[in-house]
Amino acid sequence: MQSQTAFTHIQILQDKIPYPLQGLAKLAVNYWWNWSSEQLSIFRNIDFEKWEECQQNPVKLLENVSSERLAQLAAEPEYCQQVLNLVTQLEQYLVTKNTWVDKNFPQDQLQKTIAYFSIEYGIARSLPTYSGGLGILAADHLKSASDLGVPIVGVGLLYRQGYFKQQLDSTGWQQEIYLDYQFEELPIELCRDTQGEVLTVTLQIRDRQVKAQIWQVQIGRIHLYLLDTYREDNEQIDRWITGQLYGSGQDTRLAQEYLLGIGGVRALQRLGIEPQLYHLNEGHAAFATLEIARQLMESTATFDEVRPMVRDRCVFTTHTPVPAGHDIFSRDQIAPYFTHYWQQLGLSKEAFLDLGNRHPGKDSWEPFNMTALALKMSRSANGVSQLNGKVCRQMWSCLYPNIPVEDVPIGQITNGVHHRTWTAPLIANLYKHYLHPDWADRVTDTQIWAKVEEIPDDELWGRHQRLQAALIAYTRLQVKEARERRGESSEAIAAAEQLLDPNILTIGFARRFSSYKRGDLITYDPDRARAIFSNFEQPVQMIVAGKAHPADEESKRIVQRLIEWSHHADIRNRLVFIEDYDMHIAQKLVQGVDVWLNTPRRPHEASGTSGQKVAFNGGINCSILDGWWCEAYQEGVNGWAIGDGADTDDTESQDRADAESLYELLETEIIPCYYDRDSAGIPHRWVQMMKASIRTIAPYFNTDRMVADYVNQMYLPKHEVSKRAKVGMH
């Protein structure tokens, strides 16, 4: 059992912080601060520069800020009152018995724990446990689960170096930088037993006993447990199992997934947590099902006997819409890891490897597929948008040879975003004023969102413009620093101050660079794109960000081509790349752009969520009809659709047609609408569309709705479906 001792960070910080501000220590160790503007500013206001220097990590900030500054703040009654209020708010938040779950599922089975497994979590900039959309989704899931009172715990890995940091050299080629994070400086705590000893789990990996320790992260009401093998008593090579996210070779990846799945189940047991249900987010954690089976078999049952019991305890979310994207390991790779394991499960090597086979009964030549394992061992499964669900049913019908494709048991729950995290304070305050003081708790109520129409155009536009100005200032600073680092000329460095213009239509494009996302589709016809960007009367500018996977040369080349294109004299100030895309840059971008561009090759975008963040801030989407946008798009109302949503295997002609469609939309609809102004400079038609974007997207594409869908469709036992409850209605 875990001891109930408080975070040691709290004690250390409280020794340093003057009495009236002691509450800051409590706020610093719960990522709850991350999801509202007021909470954020409490730390930012201590020392803005240090806050940024410390990667927005409140523990590090409080450790590094001077005692004089703290004494100064302690003498400001207003600031002290703010701290007190927030601590009271947090304490109430933590103990309230008035959540959505409390109200709708009294004494229900839901009161027991659900364990959520994911290989990445994008909780805040300071916690290096994510790379992209999968991690953001997992963290937004936990944040909304906390808000709704869903009894969930998260399980993941803590990476010594996180994902890489991106820098571009002077030719636009991506360089990867790896830094060691200092875990002692993070708002996380090692789990210990009642004697104060660090809790560990031991696993047999590559013929050695490897020990993993467990870190606890507090996310509102929810605990997230992260496993870490960086311990003195492990061999060097085993310490680096949790060295990097998606960084190392296939063998380390297999070790990571072994640790996540099998180590994760053992860690929960070690902590005295008995989950009633396991939710596997993507195939990475599928080995968890084997460990659940092994534990159930300890009471002398056979694997076949416990298999239905395992299935009854597991649900699975699949994201990847292409066979090649799935997590697969060769049989030769898998075998050494599991020799002792299939014996314990009472299985032959063949029977064991068959669990990861896509074509049951066929000769076993296929690699071991983690999605196949997860599907076979889960009671229900879902894709992450309507279209993705359909694609997944087709792709996996091979596992269910005797039933029609439409009956393949994979459903869908469309992804959303945690609106409290992603909505700019300036805009949230408008919602508070014009929609409802509790708009965030009632986010699924369409009647509240209808009141967006009551916001005066100039007010919404004015706030949007302020956010855009902030984004531009931020972008200039990032570029300036990058140019300084590259040792560029003083003219080039000074010129960064002139980049971009707040009076020009601003397109944002930021996501992982991966060839299916076609980050350079906008420059498909370089001359036509140049003409659009450099149009004298009605120009266009674009801010781009995103990392290519270190091994993905093709995508690095896409980044480089974009940069090369932007060097043309006509558009020198009009396309800017921000290096090292992360959550913080994402926040700035989604809150400040006019148009959010997304150009995936359909149907490769499982859902996508960044465009939903944009909508909460009044930005407008222009996207291929793929992922979530198929469901949200209303023609002529809330945004633009590139192409006609048809599927073709001929990528060359698809790229050409989609680029043509994008240019035409820009030239005939988007640009004229943006520059259609009244005498005061307000683009009323544009603002109308901003409002439609908010009104039609916000009530559905949020994680409160999404988590409620998971509760109703996946978490509730099948015989309890009559208990399904709507969320956000009062």
Ligand X SMILES: *Cc1c(COP(=O)(O)O)cnc(C)c1O
* Cβ contact 186:168 at 8 Å: no
Q: Which stretch binds ligand X (CB under 6 A): 26-34, 461-469, 581-589, 662-670?
A: 581-589
Residues 6+ positions from 184 with CB-CB distance below 8 Å? none
- Tokens linked to 263: 């180590």
> How many other CB atoms sit within 10 Å of the CB of residue 646?
9
Q: Which stretch binds ligand X (CB under 6 A): 62-70, 141-149, 575-583, 722-730?
A: 575-583
* Residue placing its CB nearer to ligand X in the complex, 436 or 588: 588
Q: How far apart are CA 641 and CA 627, in angstroms?
A: 12
The helix (H) or strand (E) run that includes residue 509 is strand 505-510
The two three-digit tokens of residue 312, written as one number: 């009854």
Secondary structure string (H, E, C) spanning 511-577: CCECHHHCCCHHHCCHHHHHHHHCCCCCCEEEEEECCECCCCHHHHHHHHHHHHHHCCHHHCCCEEE
| Residue 623 lies near ligand X (rule: CB under 6 A) | no
Single out the residue of 582, 626, 704, 709 in contact with ligand X (rule: CB under 6 A).
582
Of 47 and 140, nearer to ligand X (C-beta) is: 140
Distance CA 508, CA 534 (A): 17
Q: Is residue 703 a contact point for ligand X (CB under 6 A)?
A: no
Question: Which lies closer to ligand X via its Cβ, residue 86 or residue 510?
Answer: 510
To ligand X, the closest distance from the beta carbon of 603 in angstroms equals: 14
Question: Considering the complex, what minimum distance in angstroms separates the CB of residue 206 from ligand X?
Answer: 32
436 vs 511 by CB, closer to ligand X: 511
Going from the C-alpha of 402 to that of each of 23, 193, 370, 410, the distances in angstroms are: 61, 51, 22, 15
Q: How far is the CB of 137 from ligand X (least distance, A)?
A: 8
- Pick from 30, 317, 610, 638 the residue near ligand X by CB under 6 A: 610
Span from 197-205, 309-317, 353-361, 609-617 in contact with ligand X (CB under 6 A): 609-617
Contacts 24+ apart (CB under 8 A), 5-14: 5/192, 5/196, 7/187, 7/189, 7/218, 8/189, 9/59, 9/187, 9/189, 12/63, 13/59, 13/62, 13/63
Task: Give the residue with the Cβ less far from ligand X, 147 or 582.
Answer: 582
Which one of 50-58, 129-137, 633-641, 669-677 is the stretch in contact with ligand X (CB under 6 A)? 129-137
3-class DSSP state of 363: coil
Q: Which amino acid is at 243?
A: G
Q: Is 127 in the site for ligand X (CB under 6 A)?
A: no
d(C-alpha 448, C-alpha 174), whole Å? 45
Nearer to ligand X, 133 or 283 (CB): 133
Nearer to ligand X, 229 or 415 (CB): 415
Q: 266 or 511: whose CB is closer to ligand X?
A: 511
Min. distance of Cβ 369 from ligand X in angstroms? 23
Q: Does 132 bind ligand X (CB under 6 A)?
A: yes
Q: Which is nearer to ligand X, 221 or 511 (CB)?
A: 511
The residue within the footprint of ligand X, chosen from 315, 586, 697, 714 (CB under 6 A), is 586
Q: Mark the segment that binds ligand X (CB under 6 A) among 66-74, 285-293, 455-463, 580-588.
A: 580-588
Binding positions for ligand X, 649-678, rule CB under 6 A: none
User: Considering the complex, what minimum distance in angstroms separates the CB of residue 32 from ligand X?
Assistant: 19
CB 551 within 8 A of CB 517: no
Q: Which is nearer to ligand X, 601 or 613 (CB)?
A: 613
Least distance (Å) between residue 610 CB and ligand X: 3
Is 608 a binding residue for ligand X by CB under 6 A? The answer is yes
* Cross-strand partners of 215: 190, 226
Q: Closest CB to ligand X among 610 and 703?
A: 610
Rounded to the nearest 5°, which phi and psi values hold at 218? -100, 120
Count of residues that bind ligand X according to CB under 6 A: 12
Rg from Cα positions in the chain:
26
The residue (of 573 and 609) whose beta carbon lies closer to ligand X is 609
Query: Does 133 interact with ligand X (rule: CB under 6 A)?
Result: yes
* Residue 356 vs 600, nearer CB to ligand X: 600
Give the one residue of 25, 115, 124, 136 binding ligand X; rule: CB under 6 A: 136
Shortest separation between residue 76's beta carbon and ligand X, angstroms:
34
Decide the pairing of beta strands 368-369 and 277-281.
unpaired
Nearer to ligand X, 445 or 582 (CB): 582
Q: Is 389 in the site for ligand X (CB under 6 A)?
A: no
Quick one: how far is CA 16 from the chain centroid? 34
Which CA distances in Å does 394 have to 325, 410, 503, 645, 701? 15, 10, 47, 18, 25
Query: Is there binding between residue 595 and ligand X (CB under 6 A)?
Result: no
The piece of 174-182, 253-261, 607-615, 682-690 that touches ligand X (CB under 6 A) is: 607-615
Separation CA 713–CA 411 (nearest Å): 9
Q: Specify the stretch interacting with ligand X by CB under 6 A; choose among 49-57, 369-377, 608-616, 706-714.
A: 608-616
Mapping DSSP to helix (H, G, I), strand (E, B) and coil, where does residue 165 land?
strand
Q: Which is nearer to ligand X, 167 or 276 (CB)?
A: 167
Contacts of 531 (CB under 8 A, 6+ apart): none
280 binds ligand X (CB under 6 A): no
Closer to ligand X at the Cβ: 238 or 582? Answer: 582
Beta strand 328-329 with 368-369 is antiparallel
The conformation of residue 712, written as its DSSP 8-state character, comes to I
Residue 440, SS3 per DSSP: coil
Q: What is the DSSP letter of 6?
A: P
Q: With binding defined as CB under 6 A, does residue 511 bind ligand X? A: yes
Buried b (16+ CB within 10 A) or exposed e, 175-214: ebeeeebebebbbbbebbeeeeeebbbebebeeeebbbbb
- Tell me, residue by residue from 521 to 550, as one string, x for binding to ligand X by CB under 6 A and - for no binding: ------------------------------
Q: How far apart are CA 473 and CA 610, in angstroms?
A: 21
Mode of pairing for the β-strands spanning 165-168 and 575-578: unpaired
As measured in angstroms, the least distance from the Cβ of 56 to ligand X is 14
Interacting residue with ligand X among 506, 609, 617, 654 (CB under 6 A): 609
Q: How far is the CB of 417 from ligand X (least distance, A)?
A: 7
256 and 157 in contact (C-beta within 8 Å)? yes
Q: Is position 321 an interface residue for ligand X (rule: CB under 6 A)?
A: no
Binding of residue 162 to ligand X (CB under 6 A): no
Assess 578 for contact with ligand X (CB under 6 A). no
For the bound state, the minimum distance from the C-beta of residue 51 to ligand X, rounded and expressed in Å, comes to: 19
- Our finding on whether 270 is near ligand X (CB under 6 A) is no
Q: Could you say whether residue 706 binds ligand X (CB under 6 A)?
A: no
Q: Nearest approach, Cβ of 505 to ligand X (angstroms)? A: 21
511 or 705, CB closer to ligand X? 511
Q: Which two tokens stand for residue 679?
A: 């005498």
Where does this chain bind ligand X (CB under 6 A)? 132-133, 136, 511, 581-583, 586, 608-610, 613
